């Protein structure tokens, strides 16, 4: 098992060098990779469970939102990016268990947008124009 573990650690180390990963993500990834490498080496087909690049519940962070398909961090998940995974925003939300109108943006950007909308007070301007 040692060789499989070493190989898995090398892969995870490379992954961690290009994106921030939590301790839980690193541990989980090492375990999955080590068992997968071992089963391939022993001639078995690895269990292909549907796995995501990250935990959907933890993908929305303060300054980034992690795409659960490819694992890359963004400030906002655009239609164009999701189209590269052959998905619409609605399909993405459904697949990863988000509510229908859930914004696919990082927390800081969401806060900025909310603040700006409150400052604009569009609901009061409509009433004055009538």
**What domains appear along the chain, each with residue ranges and CATH number?**
1-51 (no CATH), 52-130 (1.10.10.1550)
Distance of CA 121 to CAs 10, 105, 110, 127, Å? Answer: 53, 22, 17, 11
Looking at every residue in the chain, the average pLDDT score rounds to 83
Q: Distance (Å, rounded) from C-alpha 112 to C-alpha 53?
A: 27
Name the pLDDT band for 127 (thresholds 50, 70, 90): low
Give pLDDT, residue 126: 65
Distance of CA 27 to CAs 9, 63, 74, Å? Answer: 10, 23, 23
- Cα 124 to chain centroid distance, Å, stands at 37
Give pLDDT, residue 106: 93
Q: pLDDT tens-digit profile of 36-93?
A: 887 777 776 555 445 677 788 888 899 999 998 888 899 999 999 999 989 999 999 9
The pLDDT > 70 percentage for the chain reads: 88
Determine which of 19-23, 63-67, 116-120, 125-129 has the lowest per-residue pLDDT on average: 125-129
Could you tell me the sign of the dihedral formed by the alpha carbons of 106, 59, 90, 98, in that order? negative
Name the pLDDT band for 19 (thresholds 50, 70, 90): confident
Q: Distance (Å, rounded) from C-alpha 120 to C-alpha 130?
A: 18
Measured between its terminal Cα atoms, the distance across the chain in Å is 74
């Amino acid at each position: 098992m040692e060789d499989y573990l070493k190989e898995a650690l090398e892969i995870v180390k490379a992954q961690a060098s290009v994106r921030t990963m939590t301790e839980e993500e690193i541990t989980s990834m090492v375990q999955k990779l080590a068992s997968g490498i071992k089963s391939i080496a022993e001639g078995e087909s690895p269990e292909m469970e549907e796995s995501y690049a990250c935990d959907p519940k933890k993908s929305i962070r303060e300054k980034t939102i992690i795409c659960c398909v490819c694992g890359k961090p963004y400030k906002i998940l655009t239609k164009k990016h999701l189209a590269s995974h052959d998905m619409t925003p609605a399909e993405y939300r459904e697949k990863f268990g988000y509510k229908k109108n859930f914004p696919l943006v990082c927390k800081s950007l969401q806060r900025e947008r909310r603040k700006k909308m409150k400052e604009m007070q569009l609901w009061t301007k409509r009433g004055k124009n009538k």
